Amino acid sequence: MAVLEIDDLPHEPSVTVADGSLRTLGDLLIARARATPDIAACYQKENGQWQKLTWSGLHQSACAVASGLADLGVEVGDCIAILGPTSTAWTVYDFGGQMAGASTVGIFPQQSAEQIRFLLTHSESKAAFVANDIEMETVLEAAADLPSLKAIVAWTPELEAKWRDRDPRIMGPERFDGEPMSDADVEARQAACDPEGAAILVYTSGTTGPPKGAMISHSNILALAEGIQEIFTFYRDDLVIAFLPMAHVTERCLAFYGRVSAGVPAAYATSIGTVIDELAEIRPTVFGSVPRIFEKVYARVQSEVAKSSPVKQRIFRWADGVARRRLRRRIAGAAPSGLLEFQYNLATKLVFSKIKARFGSRVRVCITGAAPIAGEILEFLWAIDMPILEAYGMTEATVVTHVNRLDSFRLGTVGRVVPMMECRIADDG
């Protein structure tokens, strides 16, 4: 197992750079790279080992992409599209577009040519960054005779070499990893951006008709990043695991741009299928996911208990009961008795430490949303001291409007409205 070696940083609150003084997402990365240039921005496994990219490295790579886009004729306000797995490359291309003053469009993997053609046409994307053979095949079909698309960029030289004869617009990544765009040119492009203009387009399926492109502004995202810090404290030694599609508004705005503001690194899972196994390697402190991952882990725990000896089953049931009694006292605002606390510490040593080890043993908070999660699972995770915060929001409202707090929560609800939002209960309740 290749355990990820993280930076040795103090456990103290991080300082957000989204402080009201920034205008654009490009400004966000510039501010972060200046604040903590040599600290890890992300980790990705290559040849079985976790490789680090610093914030200054991410900034320089993004400026190189911006330079390549400028050479293609991409102007402030144009769109570029990105199609590939959640990874370091995705984030570099995303911020490369932002540095060039473009709006970036995330496309979910494994869509049909018809769906991709609609997205490329509707957004009028000038360039599309494509990760692999399967997606390249689909994009070429989708982009046939599409005049607005000027470049199809392969993520690797091998992919470009394999497909370049199929379409003259195909080019390799080397055009986007050369000399970075100068600071003056980047600043000029950021100054030309409208903070209220679309920083990203997020296509979300509507109840009728084709997908709707939600235009989320620079100001929207920066306000979210600033507001989240008011209700949730990130620490300098925090680490998250990233695996949800970057085209999804939650992973993009809340997880990615939010951690750029807070200066928190992410480790990119090799794939969604490897997440549960790689948790032990990554050892995240903050774990956000749709309910399905928590359901799978809980089901696996229950299955293993059912297969264990009668003695182990009795120990598990005892420990589970102790933890839930302790949680109910906490919810009621009462401190646990000395005996109950002693029993809980013993239960943690005998049972819960092994469950926490599945998440890497360091998770201090979990976050979930996008769908309901069973109350049984919520109570179990809170009871074993892996607090899980439910959240709710809509794409058009910049991801999240309501979230529970560690110091103010109610299981089975989505919590209170976030600071920069307003909500109203309808007349019918």
CA 367 – CA 349 distance, rounded (Å): 25
CA 68 – CA 97 distance, rounded (Å): 10
Res 207 pLDDT > 70: no
Averaged over 269-291, what is the pLDDT?
91
- Confirm if 82 and 93 have CB atoms less than 8 A apart: yes
CA 211 – CA 231 distance, rounded (Å): 32
Tell me what pLDDT residue 297 has: 87
Averaged over 214-218, what is the pLDDT?
96
What is the 8-class DSSP label of residue 402?
E
Q: Is 181 helix (H, G, I), strand (E, B) or coil?
A: coil
Percentage of residues in the chain having pLDDT higher than 70: 99
Nearest to 76 by CA among 164, 198, 206: 198
- Which pair of tokens denotes residue 118? 């609609």
Q: How confident is the model at residue 229 (pLDDT cuts 50, 70, 90)?
A: confident
Alpha helix ranges (H) inside 124-217: 133-142, 157-163, 183-192
* Separation in Å, CA 7 to CA 22, 242, 265: 27, 18, 10
Tell me what pLDDT residue 96 has: 98
Strands (E), 338-377: 365-368
- Which pair of tokens denotes residue 258? 């939010």
R_g over Cα of the chain: 23
Res 88 pLDDT > 80: yes
What are 113-120's contacts with CB under 8 Å, separation 24+? 113/138, 113/139, 113/141, 113/142, 114/142, 115/211, 116/83, 116/142, 116/143, 117/141, 117/142, 117/143, 117/146, 118/210, 118/211, 119/81, 119/203, 119/211, 120/81, 120/146, 120/148, 120/149
Q: Which residue has the higher pLDDT, 344 or 232?
A: 344
* Separation in Å, CA 221 to CA 53, 121, 239, 278, 420: 23, 25, 21, 30, 11
Tell me what pLDDT residue 177 has: 94
In tens, the pLDDT along 252-269 reads: 999 999 999 999 999 999
- Which pair of tokens denotes residue 262? 């807070």
Tell me what pLDDT residue 407 has: 86
In tens, the pLDDT along 111-136 reads: 999 999 999 999 999 999 999 999 99
Strands (E), 181-252: 198-204, 212-217, 240-242
CA 59 – CA 38 distance, rounded (Å): 11
CA 244 – CA 229 distance, rounded (Å): 22
Write out the H or E segment, with its range, that includes residue 391.
strand 388-392
CA 128 – CA 124 distance, rounded (Å): 11
Apex 173 CA angle, 167 and 175, nearest 5:
90
In DSSP notation, 186-201 reads HHHHHHHS-TTSEEEE
- Which pair of tokens denotes residue 45? 């496994």
> Which amino acid, residue 46?
E
Q: How confident is the model at residue 420 (pLDDT cuts 50, 70, 90)?
A: confident
Q: 129-153 burial, b if ≥16 CB within 10 A, otherwise e? A: bbbeeebbebbbebbeebeebbbbb
Q: In the Cβ-directed half-sphere of 322, how many Cα atoms lie within 13 Å? A: 24
Tell me what pLDDT residue 110 has: 92
Angle of helix 183-192 versus helix 88-99 axis, rounded to 10: 70
**Three-class SS string for 42-87?**
EEEEECCEEEEEEHHHHHHHHHHHHHHHHHCCCCCCCEEEEECCCC
